[in-house]
Amino acid sequence: MNYLGVGVSPGNVAVRHHGTISKVVDRRVRVVELVLRCVICGLGVLAAVLIGTDSQVKEIFTIQKRAKFTDMKALVFLVIANGIAASYSLIQALRCAVSMIRGDVLFSKPLAWAIFSGDQAMAYVTLAAVAAAAQSAVFAKLGQPELQWMKICDMYGKYCNQVGEGLASSVLVGLGMAALAPVSAFSLFRLYGEDGKMGLLICRPAILPREQMSVKFFATFRIGDFIAPSQSCILSVKGRRSLWLRGLISRSDCITSAETVLLEKQSLDEFLANINMGNAVIVSVSPQPRASLAVHFGISPLHSMGIKAVFDTSSGRHITLIESCKEFLTRYEQSKIKGRENDGLSLPMLASSFPGWICYAEKTHGSFILPYISSVKSPHEAMGTIVKNHVCQKMGLR
């Protein structure tokens, strides 16, 4: 593949800056990254040493008890996380220093993705370890009277103070790793633009020297956003030009970002306008909206048969659920009153909207199970009651 006259492999992009401003920005980013990684390395080692070497002996009656970081699993996790963060930051700091010394180097996209993913993972791990250790520290400092947990720091004051210093260093480590995330993101995503500039370039012409008289198409072309009908994703050029179609098809084609044009050309108004103009319009409808369309336009088969009104049983289901809740609360309150066991309000309460089960229960178990069956009507019966007592009156039916 040819990129502005510079031969590169698909997995690597040569980071070349053609302006003074780009060079200054790149150098500053590298300096910031190197400083952050060195600081994180130092703080991680400090936190691990403070917590890992902390201990205090306390004599309780005649027994001596030594408090150390292994007594709390959260502190063990914190020491391990700080050690990993320090080692990782040291390796990345050395890589960054070598990169600055060598100057313009060939930067690999897979390596950039690995660094970006590593920074994200380390940020999550360190912050999670800090959160767990902070929660344990709060319990040690304040205790938990409800669970009869004593205030450990009242007995091991020196131990808790040193743990607090290590925890503060760990917080800085976590914040430093979080600050590295945008730096590594910048180093990664600038490889997908030109001259170190981030951004998604949909179409851009790569003009080669005039003597070659050719234009090659690939993923970095910018020829505009075209999605309206009868407009092609091309850029007019003067004279004879050769096109490399494979590079264009292998990428994202000319994906547009002009969503407003999409709404103008593919909207309900445009759909209705085509119908009004007499154009041949073909529609495919998924099963889900068919019922809603039938209700909206009044084309239900029941209406065509002369049915006066059609209701959804969801309303009856809601009423049944509400009444069932009320009946259960009534049964529950009555069951707590002594001497009311045989008044018909028995627990557990059984309910079913399936008539076959009710018939089976009545015929098979008889009077034994009847007191436990809910007296609330089924959703269909509830709708029948509503139609008879309310809808018919509104419609003037008898």
Q: Where are the domains of the chain?
A: 11-192, 200-283, 314-395
Instruction: Note whether 206 and 220 are within 8 A (CB).
Output: yes
pLDDT per residue as tens digits for the range 67-114: 787 878 888 888 898 899 889 889 988 888 887 787 655 457 788 888
Instruction: Note whether 351 and 374 are within 8 A (CB).
Output: yes
Average pLDDT of 294-301?
71
Q: Which of 344, 15, 110 is nearest to 6 (CA)?
A: 15
pLDDT per residue as tens digits for the range 249-275: 444 444 444 445 555 666 777 878 878
Record the pTM: 0.42
Query: From the DSSP assignment, how many helices (H) and strands (E) are in the chain?
Result: 13, 8
Q: What is the pLDDT of residue 239?
A: 62
Instruction: Note whether 129 and 77 are within 8 A (CB).
Output: yes
Q: What token pair was written down for 40?
A: 């994180």
The position carrying tokens 């220093």 is 97
Q: Give the pLDDT band of residue 358 (cuts 50, 70, 90).
A: confident
Q: What is the pLDDT of residue 345?
A: 59
Q: Give the pLDDT band of residue 348 (cuts 50, 70, 90).
A: confident
Out of 143-157, 217-231, 346-360, the most confident range is 346-360
Q: CA-to-CA distance for 248 and 117, rounded, in angstroms? A: 29
Q: Give the pLDDT band of residue 389 (cuts 50, 70, 90).
A: confident
Higher pLDDT: 211 or 370? It is: 370
Phi-psi region of 278 (alpha: psi -120 to 50; beta: other; left: phi over 0): left
Higher pLDDT: 38 or 24? It is: 38
Residue 122 predicted with pLDDT over 70: yes
Higher pLDDT: 38 or 262? It is: 38
pLDDT per residue as tens digits for the range 303-313: 666 667 777 77
Q: Where are the alpha helices (DSSP H) in 266-344?
A: 268-276, 290-297, 301-304, 314-335
